[in-house]
Structure 1
Amino acid sequence: MNALSRREEETLLKTVKAQALKECDPFVKDFADCMSGRLISVAWACKDKLKLVEACMVKYTGPEPMEVVRSEYLKLRDQQRETKVNNLNDNRTRLT
């Protein structure tokens, strides 16, 4: 089976987003500093910094990076399943 369940997809997305925030931390901090003490003017005063944050996040959470993460996850999941099946077969062989 090469599809992810909804729960697996959500878990992967949360994990990837958390990693992206760590990687993009300098941009996020710059944006937060820009927003500090502003209300309405944030929309135009910090627009460039927001675009940098968004570009950085897309670099890690966009369609291509997510597809790579999904593929790696599926590969790992298949390996784990294969190991379990092999262990089960070994145990059955020993019992007979």
Structure 2
Amino acid sequence: MGYIQEARENHVKKKVEEALRSKMKQKAMKECDHYASKYAECAYGRTLSVVFKCRNQAKELNNCLHQYTNDTVLEEMKREYALQHDGKP
């Protein structure tokens, strides 16, 4: 395999991974919408005090998001993608 062909394949793989990451983040935001709303409600009208006053809401949101946006989830999405596309990794 030539250098140019390999570079093209790596570029495609990166684009696919970017798309999967984006899909993963969208799903996480959808699943954690309740926590995002609670954080937004707490943060409304605050500036610097948001860090202190909304700490619990931020922690809840981050914990929820982490359930849906971690390396394990991404690897599973990559496996599913590979299976859907003729088993090509």
Q: Distance in 2 between matches of 1:25 and 1:44?
A: 21
The number of equivalent residue pairs is 78
Q: CA deviation at 1:67?
A: 1.2
Please list every run of 5 or more consecutive structure 1 residues that lacks an aligned counterpart in the other structure.
Answer: 82-96
Q: For residues 37-75 of structure 1, what are the alpha-carbon distances to aligned partners after superposition, in whole Å with 9 as ceiling and x for unaligned?
A: 101100111111111111111101111111111111111
AA aligned to 1:10 is E
Alignment RMSD, CA only? 1.7
Select which of 47, 54, 69 maps to 1:46: 54
Name structure 2 gaps, 5 residues minimum: 1-9
SS in 2 for 1:78: coil
TM superposition outliers: structure 1 runs of 4+ over 2 Å = none
Q: What is the percentage of aligned positions where both structures have the same residue?
A: 31
**TM-score normalized by the length of structure 1:** 0.75
Name the residue aligned to 2:43: 35
Equivalent-residue separation in structure 2 for 1:13 and 1:35 (angstroms): 27
